[in-house]
Amino acid sequence: MSPPLSRTRRRLLAVGAVLLVLAGAVTWAVWPDDPDYRTQDARIAVRSGPNGDEPVDLDTRLFLPDGASATDKVPAVLLAHGFGGTKESTYADAEDLAGIGYAVLTWTARGFGRSGGQIHLDNPDYEVRDAQRLVDWLAARPEIRTDGPGDPRVGVVGSSYGGGLALLLAGQDPRIDAAVPMATWHDLPSAFLPESTGQGPVDGVFKKTWAGLFFGNGAGAGLGALGDSAGDPAAVAGALAGADPACGRFAADVCAAYQRIATTGRADQAAVDLLRRSSPATVLDRIKAPTLLVQGTADTLFPLSEADANARGIAATGTPVRVAWFTGGHDGGDGPQSDRDRIRFLMAQWLDHYVKGTGDTPSTSFTWSRITGFNALDRGVVTSGYSDPAYPGLGGTGTGTVTVTGPAQPVANPPAGNPAAISSLPGAGGGLSSFVNGVVTDLPGQHARFTSAPLDRPLDIVGSPTVQVRAASPTGEAVLFVKLYDVDPAGVATLSSGLVAPVRLTGLPAEIGAAQPVSVTLPAIVHRVEAGHTLRIAVATSDQAFATPAQPTVYTVAVPGDATAVTLPTVPGEPIASPQVIWRYVLVGLLAAIAVGLVVVVLVVRRRRNRHDTSVHPEYADVPLRVDGLRKVYGDFVAVDRVDFEVRRGQVVGLLGPNGAGKTTTLRVLMGLTKPTEGQVHVFGHPLVPGSPVLSRIGALVEGPGFLPHLSGLANLRAYWAATGRPEADAQLDRALEIAGLGESVHRRVKTYSHGMRQRLAIAQAMLGLPELLVLDEPTDGLDPPQIAEMRRVLKRYATDGRAVLVSSHLLAEVEQTCTHVVVVNKGAIVASGQVDEIVGESPSVQIEVSDAGAAAGVLGQLAGVHSVAVDGDRQLVVDTNGTARSEVVAELVRAGIGVERVVPRRRLEDAFLALVGESSSGSGDR
Amino acid sequence: MTTDVQAGAAPGYRAARTLPIRAEWRRQWSRARTRWALGLMVLLPLIILVAFQFDNGGDDNGGGEFGSLIDLATSGGLNFTLFCLYVSATFLLVVAVALFCGDTVASEAQWGSLRYLLAVPVPRARLVAVKLVVALGYSGLALLTLAGTALAVGTARYGWEPLRSTVANEIAPGAGLVRLLGILGYLAVVLLVVAGLAFLLSVSTDAPLGAVGGAVLLWILSSILDQITALGAVRDLLPTHYSTAWLGLLSTPAQFDDLVKGAISAVVYATLFWSLAFWRFARKDVTS
């Protein structure tokens, strides 16, 4: 058996253990996970180009899940990065996919990073053919599952530029088993030159900011995407060697087309044809791979209409298509966590079924999300997910109409498009919140407004609203931007996702009266208009994100008949239970568990208390206090070794002992403040444990007074009695106050009291209710002699009518004068006990002071009755006369010629006590 | 054997009637610090109100979420109340709750009156329960006093206006008041952690200052750790992590997810601390 640990060491150990657990938890949370895949970097040389003979080096990385081998083959995923990125940009997604059992091949597209070649914008002859060669490469890998020779089991995943590649590859290469294109385009020329009345890109309005961003990105790709050597001027110079500074790594034809469009703000047919080659629109009818189309609602570059067109095109051939929208995109980023989780789940489900071949056929339900508020903690948006059994397109499953009114209004086209309204901040990198926090501005004089009445019920717009407008222009032409605002009662207007509908109107009359209505398809949005809000159609002449005519002109804008209906598609949708909802059940369950736990604890405690032995010890039923074999050990310090005594009715018992004898510890046990290590205490026959009701029959002063210092003496006594919960009349307050004898001071605050006053007040408090047993610890401490005398009388009187008093003291005289009985303790054990007069009664020993102690001892040694003679000092003798009369002893000494100076009779108690105190009363500490 | 749990008690004594809540309430009310703390809750909105009177509106006040709350503070009584809560939630209320819950047992131990209460005898579980209930009562009173005063003086000065915020549309005054009550409720729940911690320390020490200061210090420590994003998911376990989730109630529709998580976190911590406090106090040798 190991020795018991000390209290301090146990505490240190406990603290240490807690710290260890905390440190462990932190380490566990922060420690990077062991990857469950391995990666392999390789430069793969492929031959592409129109004739498949132009070599290019691609920088690739293959992620192989653990366990993938020639015998345990795994399906593969081609993971393409976005524009301006490299294979590094998709690292996290590749980890994810590898984690669920796919071999993932990521590569840097030609023209970017460390790959060779030039940017051809996902041209079927270049980027797409590169990807086909990578499919060949995968088929040759021994770890990759194949459907046939040269045909690996492979899906293609990509976002934006990578998403375009995914669709084009799926259309060009029948070996692709599934495609997950995200936030990508349908028709590249229309995406960069949109026109919302249905005209083609030749008449489109150039999205100059986005185009410029991309061009800058590609032209500088040699600089930005070199990775770790980007800071090395030599490496930069090397990468750009021979590159056209105007075009960077863009292929010459792409560069030239961009320059033509950017210069004029208009696209020629050649440029449109060039861009169209890079568009999935051309291959949709050939896509046989089931396709999951993911598109963002906060995307002014590739809005929802792009995915819609792709979905219709692919579905037309019977290929399974699923559409999911998330709150994010080129403007909104990855979106909130709930959306990311949903998209990740949909993608895994899609790939698992169509590539890996596990899991049920995914449904083709349409899921989307809507901003429902702000997250107070990370300041992001919070979205709620919805689903509908089938993808309804942008027209919704139902429609609402809201009429907007307003007169014809003149609007000015600013020269060179400056200043321009701001609807979105392309490339600002996603503060979704910016759409709500009001970066959107319309400039006065440059826009017309048509406003509805407040809505009487909320409207959930999911899709593309349409509206008819009329315009007149002195030049016969106008470029206008039509926007749908949600205006709250305070007048704050919200432009959902910053999306606008650019229109180029031609053949316009100069007078508004002659203008014909044209139907404008507004961008598809997911937006809830609350009841009480109004809708506003704004028609602006400029927008910072678009190229507008440089010529200053004043147009006139109107709606048909000064009031026209805005058609708003709606989809009711089933809310997707947010996984967060589970926490509400957790909370309810937790509260219920706590309630149940509380009830159980209360029941158990009550049951245990009821079971508690409340029988009365018959022998002690009338004994106020009986202590048997009491022992208290603190750690390895024995405070009380063994104490037995009793206090009977009518007795005033003194517990006498030097400081540190264990008196206070004994009293603490009596008060239920401390649990004894061993032994029993009975009060009127009831076993005493902490909190025993029988304690209410004991009044106590233990270890000095304890009062609320800010209250008066009287208020303290009242507060104490209030805490007992007993009737006020039982307190006998007047008697207690009389005993305290504080006079008017009883109304003063206790903190102003002297030590003695507090002591008296404490004794008065102990006497409140006249308890049957009074326990007082050093009651005369701090009292002056008259008060001590008075206190003695009080205590003696107190014990007269069947009550009992236990007084502890280290002063012999006090016990002698106050008590009827005494218990002498030292070092935690009883050394003497009995009636005071018995103990105090004369002892057979006598102290004699003589002229010559040695001679006297000799003389007394001769005496027959004298038992012992002790020499105490050279003139002191302690003589045990043992029955011999003192006079006889003195006479004998005198007879022998020894001078007797003094004869002092000794008392037993003194004998006992002085011997103890004499031994050592110092250093024993306070027990 | 008998089931009379009052066996041998003095006449009129019943364990369940000892230390009545009313008596403990008065015991605490008699203390100057109780009245000072509550007085401060009345004073703070008045001080803020006076400070706003001196605002010349010319200087910028930092902008951001906080700045906008200042800008909006004078737009109505509800917003003024919201502002008062915002500035006091992170420290003043924490100190007040720590004071009420940390001081209650430790100060009795320090005065030496705890042993006399136990010798009454007030059963230990009852003593702890009554002390806790009263301390929580005063904490709640402090919160309500602050909000009530702010609402009263704010409405008197700035009018009964809709609740405005930068994160959502304005909320009609009636609905705004409900949101405000929700915020108060959530703050109360979050502060349960402080209450639990302070109370646990209170039964563990005879130094009231140690209990109050310790609770506040640990709260601040947790807030600091919560700022360190590198700790990742560990932060979610910090008791202060969700302490500002009530801002979600300003959004339309109100965001409850973080509030629910915050409530779970607070309830778990508070239950843990209180259980420990009960367990400890029921077993400890009272030596002071």
- A contact test, residue of B260, B269, B274 with most A CBs within 10 A: B260
Give the largest CA-CA distance in chain B.
Answer: 81
pLDDT of B94-119, one tens digit each?
A: 999 999 999 999 999 999 999 999 98
Output the six-digit token pair for A884. 């011999």
8 Å CB contact of A696 and B120: yes
Among B18, B166, B232, beta carbon nearest to A724: B18
The arithmetic mean of pLDDT across residues A450-466, rounded, is 94
Q: How far is CA A117 from CA A45, A57, A248, A271, B141, in A?
A: 11, 8, 11, 21, 73
8 Å CB contact of A373 and B251: yes
pLDDT of A542-573, one tens digit each?
A: 999 999 999 999 999 999 988 999 999 999 88
Chain A segment 203-222 residues within 8 A of B by beta carbon are none
Among A29, A373, A610, beta carbon nearest to B168: A373
Element holding B25 (H helix, E strand) = helix B21-29
Q: How far is CA A514 from CA A407, A470, A556, in A?
A: 15, 9, 11
Would you say residue B267 has pLDDT above 90? yes
- pTM for this predicted structure: 0.78
What percentage of chain A exceeds 70 in pLDDT?
Answer: 89
Distance from CA of B113 to the nearest CA of A (A): 4
pLDDT band of residue A914 (cuts 50, 70, 90) is: low
**Which residues 6+ apart lie within 8 Å of A261 measured at CB?**
A192, A193, A206, A211, A267, A268, A271
pLDDT band of residue A151 (cuts 50, 70, 90) is: very high
A220 φ, ψ to 5°? -95, 10
According to DSSP, the β-strands at A447-452 and A534-540 are: antiparallel
For A673, the 3-state DSSP assignment is coil
Q: Measuring CA to CA, which residue among B272, B134, B137, B280 is closest to residue B202?
A: B280
Cα separation, A610 vs A604, in Å, equals 10
Would you say residue B167 has pLDDT above 80? no
Would you say residue A5 has pLDDT above 90? no
**Which residues 6+ apart lie within 8 Å of A217 measured at CB?**
A83, A84, A224
Element holding A872 (H helix, E strand) = strand A868-872
Output the six-digit token pair for B274. 């209180």
Chain A segment 370-409 residues within 8 A of B by beta carbon are 372-377, 379, 382
Among B10, B23, B121, beta carbon nearest to A691: B121
At residue A717, the pLDDT reads: 93
8 Å CB contact of B168 and A374: yes
The arithmetic mean of pLDDT across residues A838-862, rounded, is 76
Cα separation, B13 vs A694, in Å, equals 9
Chain A segment 428-457 residues within 8 A of B by beta carbon are 436-437
Distance from CA of A673 to the nearest CA of B (A): 5
Cα separation, A53 vs A33, in Å, equals 44
Cα separation, A452 vs A724, in Å, equals 72
Beta bridge partners of A412: A554
The arithmetic mean of pLDDT across residues B42-63, rounded, is 74
A390 φ, ψ to 5°? -135, 155
Beta bridge partners of A863: none
- B contact test, residue of A588, A677, A684, A724 with most B CBs within 10 A: A724
DSSP letter (8 states) at residue A56: E
Q: How far is CA B112 from CA A927, B98, B115, B207, B287, in A?
A: 17, 21, 6, 12, 9
- Residue ranges of E strands in A583-668: 625-634, 637-647, 652-656
B271 touches chain A (CB under 8 A): yes
Residues from chain B that touch A724, judged by Cβ atoms under 8 A, are 13, 18, 120
Q: Measuring CA to CA, which residue among A887, A890, A886 is closest to residue A900?
A: A890
Is the Cα torsion angle B218, B223, B229, B232 positive or negative in sign?
A: positive
At residue A477, the pLDDT reads: 92
Beta bridge partners of B249: none
At residue A867, the pLDDT reads: 63
Beta bridge partners of A337: none
* CB atoms closer than 10 angstroms to residue B91: 13
Cα separation, A84 vs A224, in Å, equals 8
B62 φ, ψ to 5°? 90, -25
Would you say residue B64 has pLDDT above 50? no
Q: Is the peptide bond before A415 cis (omega within 30 degrees of 0)?
A: no
Residues from chain A that touch B237, judged by Cβ atoms under 8 A, are 25
The arithmetic mean of pLDDT across residues A698-723, rounded, is 92
Place of tokens 């002992």: A657
8 Å CB contact of A376 and B246: yes
Q: Measuring CA to CA, which residue among A869, A870, A865 is closest to residue A882?
A: A865
Q: How far is CA A556 from CA A448, A471, A505, in A?
A: 9, 6, 12
Residues from chain A that touch B8, judged by Cβ atoms under 8 A, are 614, 616, 683-686, 692-694, 697
Lowest mean pLDDT among A277-291, A612-626, B212-226: A612-626
Chain A segment 754-813 residues within 8 A of B by beta carbon are 765, 769, 771-772
Residue of A nearest to B279 (CA): A601
Place of tokens 């005398």: A789
Among A490, A708, A769, beta carbon nearest to B169: A490
8 Å CB contact of B8 and A616: yes
Assembly ipTM: 0.90
Would you say residue A276 has pLDDT above 90? yes
At residue A65, the pLDDT reads: 93
8 Å CB contact of A708 and B27: yes
pLDDT band of residue A84 (cuts 50, 70, 90) is: confident
Cα separation, B28 vs B208, in Å, equals 14
Beta bridge partners of A876: A849, A872
pLDDT of A807-816, one tens digit each?
A: 998 888 888 8
Cα Rg, chain A, nearest whole Å: 50
**A660: exposed, middle or buried (Cβ count in 10 Å: 0-12, 13-18, 19+):** buried
According to DSSP, the β-strands at A900-907 and A842-850 are: antiparallel
**Do the beta carbons of residue B8 and residue A686 sit within 8 Å?**
yes
At residue B102, the pLDDT reads: 94
Is the Cα torsion angle A844, A847, A848, A853 positive or negative in sign?
A: positive
Alpha helices by DSSP H, listed for A241-358, are 252-264, 269-277, 304-315, 337-351
Q: Which long-range contacts (CB under 8 A, 24 or more apart) does A340-347 make?
A: A341/A579, A342/A367, A342/A369, A342/A385, A342/A576, A343/A182, A343/A294, A344/A96, A346/A292, A346/A294, A346/A322, A347/A157, A347/A180, A347/A292, A347/A294
Beta bridge partners of A823: A655, A833
B36 touches chain A (CB under 8 A): no
Q: How many CB pairs under 8 A join A and B?
A: 227
Element holding A170 (H helix, E strand) = helix A161-172
**Do the beta carbons of residue A409 and residue A558 sit within 8 Å?**
yes
Lowest mean pLDDT among A463-477, A576-590, B184-198: A576-590
Any idea how long chain A is?
927
Beta bridge partners of A119: A250
Cα separation, A272 vs A199, in Å, equals 13
Residue of B nearest to A632 (CA): B285
pLDDT band of residue B62 (cuts 50, 70, 90) is: very low
Q: Measuring CA to CA, which residue among A56, A55, A113 is closest to residue A82?
A: A113
Cα separation, B107 vs B117, in Å, equals 13
At residue A488, the pLDDT reads: 84
Q: How far is CA A684 from CA A327, A796, B21, B236, in A?
A: 78, 21, 30, 56
Cα separation, A895 vs A886, in Å, equals 14
What percentage of chain B exceeds 90 in pLDDT?
Answer: 60
Would you say residue A83 has pLDDT above 60? yes
Q: How far is CA B233 from CA A374, B203, B230, in A?
A: 21, 32, 9
Residue of A nearest to B131 (CA): A723
Residues from chain A that touch B271, judged by Cβ atoms under 8 A, are 594
Would you say residue A731 has pLDDT above 50? yes
For A698, the 3-state DSSP assignment is strand
8 Å CB contact of B261 and A710: no
pLDDT band of residue B69 (cuts 50, 70, 90) is: low
Chain B segment 249-268 residues within 8 A of A by beta carbon are 250-258, 260-261, 263-264, 267-268
Distance from CA of B262 to the nearest CA of A (A): 10
According to DSSP, the β-strands at A652-656 and A804-809 are: parallel
Residues from chain B that touch A765, judged by Cβ atoms under 8 A, are 116
Would you say residue A51 has pLDDT above 70? yes
* CB atoms closer than 10 angstroms to residue B97: 34
